[in-house]
Chain A
Amino acid sequence: MTVFVQLVVSALGFGGIYALAALGLTIIFKTSNVVNFAYGAMATVVAMLVWTAQTGLGLPAALAWVLAIIGGGALGAASEIGFMRRVQESAPLVSIVMTLGMLLIVEGLTGVIWGYGPKAIPGIITGPSIAIGPVSVDRGGLLIVGLTAAIGLGLYFFYERTRPGLAVRAVAEDAEVASLMGISRRWVLTLSWAAGVAVTGAAATLAAPSVGLTPTLMDNIAVFAFAAAVLGGLGSLIGAVVGGFAVGILADLIAGYASANLQLTLVFALIVVVLYLRPQGLFGRAAQVRQ
């Protein structure tokens, strides 16, 4: 039992990272109905920017974070203006392929600019784990859970309780009618892309100390978080968070009891089973899947 509890507790850190990344994916999907396959590569750029600001320019961690997140937002906005907007009226598949194209471009250029060798990025909170009975809790993991909860609640408050949030939901519901109400669809999309990349970028930066900062930092995380978002139901904030932690815990339990090499395989097998029983995901709206 202790082993089980310990595995679940240790999974919270990565669960939070998956949840945050899935939230970033969800923010973009909510308004544009595009799954941004490039989100992992774009998030890696944010982590790289933190490294450059902290190690290269010697800025304090907090300032480095703020600048990098702004940089990530700019990257997200630029990709929406430069690429996604131009295929907005095409068949939806074209938008997905465009994100795949951006994935190749961003990942390739990240390697060119920052190189392929692993870089050390200091964790924000270090120090010994906290012991609660026989279970030890990692301080970094606690920070990640706290940050995920804060961002998740913040997003929920924004979408459900503020007027700009209402405007975003209006665009998601029916872009044409929303534009008749005087809501600029362009701005909503651009800002959603900026916010989505920024949030996933935070996940990448949190993951970097334990995974190792390379251009492929987010490869596995992006796949797990993608699975998490789908498991929770694409477009659902709660689904993204629940899915993220569920996938994190599942993966940890598989690594603990079976084999770390089988994590992806078994997580996907379980998710396919869930989707088979509930094709719209745990928190998704059935109407979005049915035709």
Chain B
Amino acid sequence: MAALLRRARPGTMARGGAGSPAAILIMLAAALVFPLLEGANVAVMGIATEGLTYGLVTLALNLLMGYGGQVSIGHGGLLAVGAYTTAILATRFALPFIVVLALAGAVTGVAGLLLGLPAGRLRSHYLAVATLGFGVAVPQIALNLGSLTGGFTGLIVPAEQLGSITLGNPVPLYYLALCILVASVLAVRSILSSPTGRRFMAVRDSEDTAPAMGINVGRTKVILFTTSAFFCGLAGYVFALNNAIVEPGSFSFSLSLFFFAAVIVGGMGSVGGSLLGAVLLVIVQHQAVSLGGYSEAILGVAVAVVLLAVPGGLAAVPRRLRGLVAGARLRHPATAGAASLREEPPGPPSPTGAPREG
């Protein structure tokens, strides 16, 4: 899907938006004080931790899509691998939590590596199908490995202890999830500014010129999928503890769609946007849950509205507002919001979204 992403030029959209240090500090402060307000409410804390978990998966997916130019509609499967690894380890061995967490990340990273191998060769919709297949296969495999995974009923995750703290309790788990998320955000940022991160973006920008700069495209994609999967594995650890049960039914195709939507709503190529998008969609989903089928429809409408009204996602909103203000000052409304997907310079349209020749 690199070709499909190329015209979107993410990464350039986020600056000064939800990805700016100020915005991230505000979000962090809000996240830190949140349990002081709602800590007693178990249901709300569960949803808040889910927001952090899904935020981490969305960040991992955005690393893949927004910075690496690849596509995945199977990240729910990676979350499942992390969650199952956690549940299997926690039910069988008495390992310290940090070991379980690291193994959840590592095992999921290996799964991502396996997924990345064909991805190195596939593009566009064909890559989408491979990842889709992975996403639907993981719960099915879990269903068939009953002796390991508990089959249809799944595994009940025992509460883990860290000293005198029970990690399964809502507030400690929330803070643990927040720590993992913050550490992951810092890790993703340092990856992005490293040579590896620049290789990701070079592959995203052109799979043809990247090899000319000495970049091994296939290997870069495998590293990208492995890295993205590792963070999903960490999220899977929190998911397992937060849900207390890991069962195949939790990892439906719509979960993968949820992460995909969160990336778009938040803004491709924006770290802060990923978190914002995921948290917003979690809130929308839970607010609408009593509405039955409407909740699904509302999520769909949210996606459509963002695409039509703010094509750059939430991350582009501050920029667009600034653009509008500046545009009004200059009495040149046409220049407003130049940072949107829609106002890319109109190249010659090509039916496949990529030049045919070469």
Residue positions of A touching B, CB distance < 8 A: 33, 35, 83, 86-87, 89-94, 96-98, 100-112, 116, 172-176, 215, 219, 223, 226-227, 230, 234, 259, 261-262, 264-265, 267-269, 271-272, 275-276, 279-281, 287-291
Contacts and interface: CB of A to CB of B under 8 A. Distances in A.
A226 B132 contact: yes
B144 interface: yes
Contacts of B254: 104
Contacts of B129: 226-227, 230, 268, 271, 275
Given A104-B297, A291-B354, 19 more contacts: A33-B351, A87-B308, A90-B311, A96-B4, A102-B300, A103-B257, A108-B296, A175-B351, A176-B348, A215-B293, A227-B133, A265-B136, A271-B130, A271-B133, A272-B118, A275-B122, A275-B126, A279-B121, A288-B356
Contacts, number: 184
A140 B140 CA distance: 29
B163 interface: no
B4 A269 contact: no
Contacts of A279: 121-123, 126
The 3 closest A-B pairs by CB, nearest first: A268-B133, A104-B300, A108-B296
A218 to B, nearest CB: 12
B34 interface: no
11 contacts: A35-B128, A87-B308, A90-B342, A93-B71, A104-B299, A111-B293, A230-B125, A262-B141, A264-B133, A272-B133, A280-B126
Of A33, A101, A215, A290, most B-chain CB atoms within 10 Å: A101
Contact of B130 (A86, A92, A96, A272): A272
Given A265-B137, A287-B356, A291-B207, A94 B341 contact: yes
A234 B122 contact: no
A199 to B, nearest CB: 19
Contact of B292 (A100, A112, A219): A112
Nearest to A113: B293
Chain B at the A interface: SS class:
helix
A112 B295 CA distance: 10
Interface in B281-309: 292-304, 307-308
